[in-house]
Amino acid sequence: MALESWVPGVTAECDFPLEKIPFGVAEKDGKSRCVTAVGDYVEDLQALAEAGLVPNPASCFYRSDLSIFMSLGRPVWTEVRLSLQYLFSAEEASLRDDSELKS
């Protein structure tokens, strides 16, 4: 059964459902930022870490690339991905209802 999200258009068939949350780098305000995506929605990982909503091991999301994060390995990736799945889930309101925090 597919996980449900508050993000419009997120289904098991979309490119980035909750089960396949990616990590990447995107430009925001002229700076490269570590991001994630769910459906067509992109979120800044540094902003989520600063708000205490996702773990930020070794301050890796304060960088302009994912090299430190990727070097930490699968257990850390899984921990962060599980936190993101929870934040984007249909039942969780902390990010959904925070218009300032949403990218």
Q: What is the pLDDT of residues 71-99, one digit of tens each?
A: 999 999 999 999 999 999 999 999 999 98
Instruction: Look at residue 50 and give its three-state secondary structure.
Output: helix
Q: Say yes or no to pLDDT of 1 above 70.
A: no
Q: Say yes or no to pLDDT of 17 above 80.
A: yes
Q: Say yes or no to pLDDT of 31 above 70.
A: yes
pLDDT, residue 29, reads 86
* Residue where the block lists tokens 């909503």: 53
- Mean pLDDT taken over the chain: 91
* Residue where the block lists tokens 């459902």: 17
Q: Say yes or no to pLDDT of 35 above 80.
A: yes
